[in-house]
Structure 1
């Protein structure tokens, strides 16, 4: 895996809403671009032959042959079989070698730590989950380190087969230096965590590259890599956990904004009913996240003899048509609908994705109610309306998303590292 670290992200293009195709360059200086594009083409379209890769990427057959040979030698792709197409000898097809690389994802929030070990295909090989209650940074990092070693040991791997570990935390995240996201700054929702150097703390305990992201952005990366992002290039991701977050993917790439916190919709100011009193500290809510605030819903349910202390616990009372949950859903819809209509106009996504730890039944209810409500709020009919869809990655979206970060960093094409001169010569 050591040789892969020198590869740098390069660009790719989405040709349509339903078919993803990549184009490369035959420039010698863009070798890293071509490795990444070939890797991504195999991932998206396997089983695929060398000739098909050449046609899709506009690279020469010789360039494809060289790159494929290097990727096979590195155990990242493999020959998957043979395909007969017309006369002549059958062509050899290629696919991802799932066991060529692994990575760990750690999704931490105020109420839990979920850890997953995924392989190069995105399959979850091992999983661990711990219920928590507002852990300190020191407690959380100790449990993270223990989880990394447990996940790797359970799969009987050595650390040199692991590309790295990703950490997902509720935003906002603070970038301290050299564009490296190494600290958190969310004291209201995460008391005691302000300016905590989580990456540095974990790196002293685990000998792996560590990546830190807003968990909603990371979940969006996971959906782009393994889910709906295979079909569409631009989408907005809503992450429903103990709190509410958002992530943005534009033209196939996560858009993080100037400070790395684009999509952080939980802190968007909202208009309030003066009678409401259910903010973080019992005060009138001032932003969207306080209207969503699950601990307040748990408290109300417990006061009515309903046991609930995790998102998963909401499925049963919702199925029983709990008035409390229905009222909560109505409040969330009232506050979220105008924001989603704004997202339609500001970002123009193909899809708005609903994911996270809320039970599927509640996500479907939110989608149905929001779809109706947003149609009432538009000032005029639109020619295109983004679909509202439930995420395909599942309830461990944030954990799988942050597990994707080390692999994404190594292998995903990215638009930022080709010079303007090179860009002008890339075939698109």
Structure 2
């Protein structure tokens, strides 16, 4: 049985029994509708290789379950107008939470990725107790306001950096180390009866692109998140790739040699010089105070000139990172996103392209990520949604995973 779904391989059916095969076929059809909607039954049959009677049975079942809907009739073709199918937005819902060193964002998302509600707190170094209270309040608000159907809630996803309380940062309070001892999984599971999914925030942002963004065009890419601290997420053949220890994509550890014009080179980690906090610090030393990403869009001419100066300096380092990623991982593309405003990401990428050889076929293409500042929260919601809709990006390990802690163990 020949099955194709874009560039993504179908799961191996070797040794599957009839029931397993039936669930697999159902998942293949659901994924096809999710990726290609609106799409007719005949087109699903062509893309999956299943017979038309098999497609009819599977589609009828998905319609009965409320997972998909008949959207419209396509006119203009010979014969009866084709009925197009889509995922039912109300089929299920998910809550996506993103906690970082400078904010907390909580989204309520429907089955096609529409954000039904958003709660955002622009605040630095939120402690675990406050995080739990704010999260509980947001979930209660979503439920009381009927913004989501709690009976159809697929789960709650959390995207957060590894070693959240351990990275040394200017202004970080001593109490922030509480995150190292805090069992965030247990706390969230005590807060809700729904399944809890956890992932690194950069990996989550990559999953958001995979299921709701540029993943429709590229099944292998590296995501660079420009946040309070930088992060990276890797997608290979339509699946998130974490590595043996969960360290895949940790681009902040990339050593960068700094120092031109005949000066002795100083080797620094990319994470020490390329981040939102690094940009804020650079501007502060020049007498320009910025504390949140939106402030970068309201600067005067002097401030904008300083931002451009910093971007040009960072572009050389980012170009080196892109070259390394291209040679080691060989993805289709490198996407740059995170909390850096879109206009500034575009300016950064213009400078990066100046350091890259347009004729070098070994380089991956470089693009701005399609999902903006809420990418990690969207990716957090995408985890339970992928499980509910049986998408290729679903990962059962997210149901038991917890953030990495105790960084000193890496050096032991």
Q: TM-score with structure 2 length normalisation?
A: 0.83
* 1:73 partnered with 2:83: no
SS at match of 1:163: strand
User: How far apart are residue 332 of structure 1 and its match?
Assistant: 2.0
RMSD, aligned α-carbons:
2.8
2:214 to 205, 228, 234: 228
Q: Which piece of structure 1 moves more, 237-246 or 309-318?
A: 309-318
* 1:247 partnered with 2:243: no
* 1:396 partnered with 2:393: no
Q: Any conservation in 1 of the 2:227–2:275 contact (CA below 8 Å)?
A: no
User: How far apart are residue 266 of structure 1 and its match?
Assistant: 1.2
Q: Which piece of structure 1 moves more, 103-112 or 91-100?
A: 91-100
* 1:413 partnered with 2:404: no
Alignment of 1:9-158 (within 5 A): 15=6, 28=18, 29-84=20-75, 86-158=77-149
Aligned residue number for residue 295 of structure 1: 277
Q: Any conservation in 2 of the 1:220–1:249 contact (CA below 8 Å)?
A: yes
Partners in 2 of 1:41 and 1:409 — Cα distance?
15
Aligned residue number for residue 177 of structure 1: none
The alignment of Structure 1 onto Structure 2 pairs a total of residues equal to 379
Unaligned runs of 5+ in 2: 170-175, 261-265, 397-412
Cα distance change on mapping 1:32 and 1:301 into 2, 3 Å: same
Alignment of 1:261-276 (within 5 A): 261-273=247-259
Partners in 2 of 1:243 and 1:406 — Cα distance?
26
1:368 to 350, 354, 358: 350
User: How far apart are residue 409 of structure 1 and its match?
Assistant: 2.3
Partners in 1 of 2:374 and 2:90 — Cα distance?
21
Cα distance change on mapping 1:383 and 1:133 into 2, 3 Å: closer
Aligned residue number for residue 359 of structure 1: 341
SS at match of 1:193: helix
Deviation beyond 6 Å, 4+ runs, structure 1: 20-27
SS at match of 1:157: coil
Q: TM-score with structure 1 length normalisation?
A: 0.80
Q: Any conservation in 2 of the 1:241–1:357 contact (CA below 8 Å)?
A: yes
Q: Any conservation in 2 of the 1:363–1:390 contact (CA below 8 Å)?
A: yes
Cα distance change on mapping 1:416 and 1:298 into 2, 3 Å: closer
1:331 to 273, 295, 313: 313
User: How far apart are residue 152 of structure 1 and its match?
Assistant: 3.3
Alignment of 1:170-319 (within 5 A): 170-171=161-162, 186-188=166-168, 191-273=177-259, 286-302=268-284, 304-317=286-299
Unaligned runs of 5+ in 1: 1-11, 173-183, 275-283, 418-428
Q: Any conservation in 1 of the 2:94–2:154 contact (CA below 8 Å)?
A: yes
User: How far apart are residue 230 of structure 1 and its match?
Assistant: 0.6
Cα distance change on mapping 1:31 and 1:318 into 2, 3 Å: farther
Partners in 1 of 2:257 and 2:271 — Cα distance?
12
